[in-house]
Structure 1
């Protein structure tokens, strides 16, 4: 049976399209106007709010741009990206324009809801005029998506949510352990071509991504991590003041993906800001592997694309570190969308550039690190493509491209004038460069621009002095460090194998690039990504200033398929595999199965599943809370309490933030000062920090102690989070002050 595809709403007949959106908007508006405290109404508002404003505005823009006949994943990703862009720039418009007309609180809930509803209505009316007769092709076959394998994939995120509930309420990780084990089996089933058909590969990768992100983000009813606490602090400032101060210095304050998007989602959904970060952002970020699957499928075929996407999502960086870094979650979505329009061959040039402007500007206002990496890559790739086209006209075979490959249109969307295989032009480079640098120079005191200038200057001054010095090169230090145990040594060996396979795969494709489905621009971007990875290992202060794990996360966006290519080309006859890349077929089943086993095994190590089973230095906050507390050493405990926030710490921080005297000095160790006191105490991340010895607080100052300080009798900092020390030397000096708050695991003292 066939039904209308709700995702490809932009392909529906004009009458059905208009009625569907109108009823959805009116229903959501009615719920928002109720302002009910009933949990069922709030739940309905959250679901409809996220679904509507994360999707419908983008669908309307797709109709305005007359983009039709795109695949379901492609339409979903475009619509979500466009919707988020509309929310951010609508908030920016309100912040700039409304004060001119005397509105002192432009970002109040009522003002925000009215503006975005009116904006959506105006876009809807414009789309009715712009595109009246699209093709009626928005249908799907329900047989596949209501099959047993599909229901199995639907159950994975649901069981993950149940599993996190059992961890939070009963400290029982059994369900999550079973879910992780089942997820590890999925790539092997696909490698064996069993159970899951190709039509369900997008659903499978989306189900896995959502489950992995929720299995960490839903642990604890509070946010956890490092950067996300400061992001929550800034978003709360906007909510409290109903105003965004764009002149306040700070890199993060220039990121609309945090300071505007998070408050707007809170108004739309009725959710507390904590749950916006723990639910809305991770679910949105789960679309990144789906977008990568869409990109990779055009390069290497369905099964290899699935394995490459699973490889990307299987690293702990994706579902742990990124789940606590909201601005980079949104930025990576826009980066993937930029890659999607780069490899698209069914979108006219003008429409392609319009999408580039929207997604490029959205990337720039989402995360400075990701934007700078993309900016440098964009400039280099454009120069390479320009020089190669010029050389090709002169017959230089080094740069000459295959006309057939460059001009093909695998999606069947018609001629789009890609004679030289290029989608990136001087206009793309000029726009993104101008917008990005302009934004970072003039917003939030220009600190984002000053930061990159200082980083470049610092690297330039130390590149020859500290070359290959592990103390100054974080990536190299990680490579040569000694693992904690035999199992951790095995895990490190598996990671090193994947790095080697990426290099092998890239070399294999590079020398046969004319005979593969890889676009020249994608190969060029991947080469720059590979150079970034090498620089992270060789160049002093490069990876540490950008953060090694986050840098690796970004380069994997481009390099993941090369790991699959490298592995299969090593296991199969290289020539046979490369020759079949163009058709998307595989060089036999055995290499794919072996690669799927490798990725599944690596996944079990990355999630901490194996360490939890073996009780060998477990580190997962989702699977190993009890194990870390009982058997973990000093370092694992410090890392655990540095990211995970116990409930008692939140209560203590909230009390302090509410009842402390304005302007008072607060002492706490570095980690507690930068996380729970920032997000839940609303205190700025500023010294003084708790000293190791000779503690003499100033008159009227407060001292905040958390679970890590009281139960483990330890503290961290002040220079680095991973520095920790015994609190016994200063504890008597702390206790000489007046204890003004205690819940047995969190205490507040006041001097005088």
Structure 2
């Protein structure tokens, strides 16, 4: 039995296409009306709303642009990317125009958003009909491919994450999550060593592995694991019904949290906690799939799978889960790169790059700035005499792309958030220049150098050097490709634009280590960003290195067998980075999903600090809510909360309170200040971040307890306490 391929919806006959679109349109409006009448639809509306926001505007834009010659995964990714762009764009226009036109002074609220999105979709339907009403060339999917044992087996894995986190949350039992991680490792091993899973299912396997690993962390505790002011920013917009784009601050420039997240909230009828725990992970899990699709253009399927698996095995997919704005930007960057190398009409390509470029800029100030510099670097790289002709690159087209993106970037950040980003860039540049000669490669001022030189032991030491091994193979792979580029007799596979971007990201990683104050985002986040471009070089470098070593011993090995070795390497690294091996051996256990029972008995102070720093505990949430409800407001506006107070109060508390956490550097506490002892502090575990170097440090909390003498305890829930300094 066959049916029309929903992933290539833009290729359906126009009548069926519009019927599918209008089904979701009418369903959403009907559910919205029922909710207004008091009828709850707790699962149906979030599901319909998620599909509506994720794909409906995107497939309409694909139809309007007449982009039909795309494979199923490309269609899916473009539909998702264009939908996210359209969601942010519509929300932005509503926020800017509705108050001016006198429609409403609270445009970012439920009724305006639902009705406006419905109107926009209806208008896009009309344009799609007029533009492309005669196209009809649908693909078909065989039901046997869906009910295939391989697909059904893979489909069980995310449910293991869901039920496994339930067991951890309510019964403190991690057995199902441990089994799930073993199954994921076996899937990766099966793909690396056999052909039992057909290569057409590799993208699905990548998505399954990713969503399971993200959910096994994000579904821990009933609260959102979200950092960097994102949830607070969304809450502010929802409370005000409006985004004030003039407020100074980089966080205020992020449309993905200031506009897009509230829009999800009102369309899906979900609170912010479940948006960050369920909705964003579903989008995040598509990122390694996009990596796979791009790498597959140049390299074999198993190498492409290995390149996408690196994102998961390095453990950095968790960074996307807790800083969704960076994921949004990186997803659009890989879509931007895919578009550059897509064999489509130049005009359509330019339209797509403009829309995707806007999306990068709107998603994250840091990532968009780094990418802009990367495009400028690439343009200069291609100016090397005769180089751009070597791989049939059009230099004018490259400079056009750079010009478009730089224009979009400058036009946004000059007028939004009172140009705060440029103040930040100048400040970072000034710090780097003032200390580059005195503190070059200093672990006291460079977060990258600190991570490189930090003393660790046991499994953490093995993990550290295996992570360095990935970076080593990537660098070696890049060197190999550059040698091939300048060697006329060697084959060169990659496009020069891609090589230029990859070189730039490697330079960024080096700068994060050698330059003081450069790695403001953090070396782990910079490395995650670099993997957008550099992940395929891991396989190339590994193959080159192993063959070179064996050649010295006068032995030979096939590329297939080398890839098997590298699969084993990456799987072991994944087991280390998710904390599976540490939990089995009780050697530095610190996973918030796997080690909740073992952390107190087997972890040292740093392990415990790292664990409780990430965990959002129920005691702390209740304390933050109590302080917000009963504390004295506007004592002293505290826009930058202490890191020891951290994301929990950021997300669940009131920033108008003057609240601090204790650390060894505090000598005196001002009057009318609230002092918060978190759950970790009650267990004598202290942690904070050095605002000068942005490096976390840990301490025994009993050392700072004398600071509480003479302070009044005003709240105690047996796991979190609040004191008031009079």
Give the TM-score, by structure 1 length: 0.90
CA gap 1:99/1:501 in 2 versus in 1, 3 angstroms = same
Asked whether the 8 Å contact 1:334–1:362 carries over to 2, the reply is: yes
C-alpha distance in 2 between matches for 1:208 and 1:686: 43
- 1:621 paired with 2:618, answer no
Secondary structure at 1:722 match in 2: strand
CA distance in 1, matches of 2:690, 2:378: 42
Cα deviation per residue 1:690-734 (whole Å; 9 max; x = unaligned)?
4656655525x4333321222336464675673344554665764
What corresponds to 2:120 in structure 1? Answer: 119
In the alignment, what sits opposite 2:276? Answer: 277
1:553 aligns with 2:550: no
In 1, Cα distance between the equivalents of 2:399 and 2:230? 35
Deviation at 1:573, TM superposition (A): 7.8
| CA-CA distance at 1:536 after TM superposition | 2.0
What's 1:352 paired with? 349
1:491-506 to 2 correspondences below 5 Å? 491-506=463-478
Seen in structure 2, the aligned counterparts of structure 1 residues 120 and 686 have a Cα distance that, compared at 3 Å, is farther
- Aligned residue number for residue 554 of structure 2: none
SS at match of 2:3: strand
Matching residue of 1:533: 509
1:332-731 alignment, distance < 5 Å: 332-345=330-343, 347-385=344-382, 387-388=383-384, 391-392=385-386, 400-402=389-391, 406=392, 420=393, 424-485=397-458, 487-513=459-485, 515-543=491-519, 545-572=520-547, 588-664=559-635, 670-683=642-655, 689-690=661-662, 692=664, 697-699=670-672, 701-712=673-684, 714=686, 716=688, 719=691, 722-728=696-702, 731=705
Within-5 A mapping of 1:140-151: 140-151=141-152
Q: Look up the match of 2:719.
A: 745
The whole-number CA distance in structure 1 between the counterparts of 2:657 and 2:361 is 25
**Cα drift, residue 435 of structure 1:** 1.7
1-structure distance, mates of 2:463, 2:180: 21
Against the structure 1 CA distance between its residues 32 and 226, is the aligned structure 2 distance closer, same or farther, given a 3 Å change threshold?
Answer: same
Please provide the CA RMSD for this pair: 2.6
Is the CA contact (8 Å cut-off) linking 1:28 and 1:45 kept in structure 2?
yes
- Matches of 1:296 and 1:237 in 2, distance apart? 40
Aligned partners of 1:219 and 1:622 also within 8 Å: yes
Q: How far apart, in 1, do the equivalents of 2:690 and 2:513 lie?
A: 27
Aligned equivalents of 1:92 and 1:84: distance in 2? 12
1:580: which partner in 2? none
How far residue 273 of structure 1 moved from its aligned partner, in angstroms, is 0.6
When structure 1 is superposed on structure 2, of 131-140 and 13-22 the one drifting more is: 131-140
For structure 1, the residue ranges without an aligned partner over 5 or more in a row are: 393-397, 407-419, 577-585
| CA displacement at 1:2 relative to structure 2 | 2.1
Quickly say closer, same or farther: Cα 1:114–1:258, change in 2 above 3 A.
same
Residue matched to 2:107: 106
- The count of corresponding residues between Structure 1 and Structure 2 is 712
**In the TM superposition, what are the counterparts of 1:105-254 in structure 2 within 5 Å?**
105-224=106-225, 226-227=227-228, 230-254=229-253
Structure 2, unpaired ranges of 5+: 552-556
Deviates more, 1:76-85 or 1:439-448: 439-448
716-725 vs 202-211, greater mean Cα deviation: 716-725
Contact persistence 1:652–1:748 (CA under 8 A)? yes
2:287 paired residue number: 288
Q: Does the Cα contact within 8 Å between 2:82 and 2:356 map onto a contact in 1?
A: yes
Change (3 A) 1:48 1:172: same
After TM superposition, the structure 1 stretch with the greater mean CA deviation from structure 2, 287-296 or 587-596, is 587-596
Structure 1, 69-78 or 668-677: larger mean CA deviation: 668-677
Maintained 8 Å contact 1:163/1:176: yes
What is the CA–CA distance in structure 1 between the aligned matches of 2:354 and 2:116, rounded to whole Å?
23
8 Å CA contact retained: 2:661, 2:676: no
The 2-side partners of 1:122 and 1:669 are apart by 44
Using the TM superposition, give the Cα deviation of residue 231 of structure 1 relative to its aligned residue in structure 2, in angstroms: 1.3
2:624 touches 2:649 (CA, 8 Å); kept in 1? yes
User: Contact conserved, 2:474 with 2:541, CA < 8 A, in 1?
Assistant: yes
Which deviations, in whole Å up to 9, do the C-alpha atoms of 1:574-615 show, x marking residues without a partner? 999xxxxxxxxx954211211111111111111111111110
Aligned to 1:321: 319
CA positional deviation for 1:542: 1.9
Counterpart contact for 1:281–1:330, Cα < 8 Å: no
Other-structure match for 2:305: 306
Shift of 1:422: 5.9
Q: TM-score of the superposition, structure 2-length normalised?
A: 0.93
Call closer, same or farther: CA 1:713–1:426 in 2, change over 3 Å: closer
Change beyond 3 A, Cα 1:670–1:68: same
| 1: CA distance, partners of 2:413 / 2:154 | 42
Cα displacement string for residues 54-91 of structure 1 (whole angstroms, at most 9, x for unaligned residues): 11100000000000031111111111111111111111
Q: 1:520-554 CA distances to partner (integer Å, 9 max, x unpaired)? A: 211121111222222222223222x2311111001
1:283/1:135 Cα in 2 relative to 1: closer, same or farther (>3 Å)?
same
1:652-688 per-residue CA deviation (whole Å, 9 max, x = no partner) reads 1111112223223699993353322221013259765
| Cα contact 2:659–2:676 (8 A) shared by 1 | no
Cα deviation for residue 626 of structure 1 reads: 1.8
Quote the residue 2:67 is aligned against: 67
- Cα distance change, pair 624–464 in 1 and its aligned pair in 2 (3 A): same
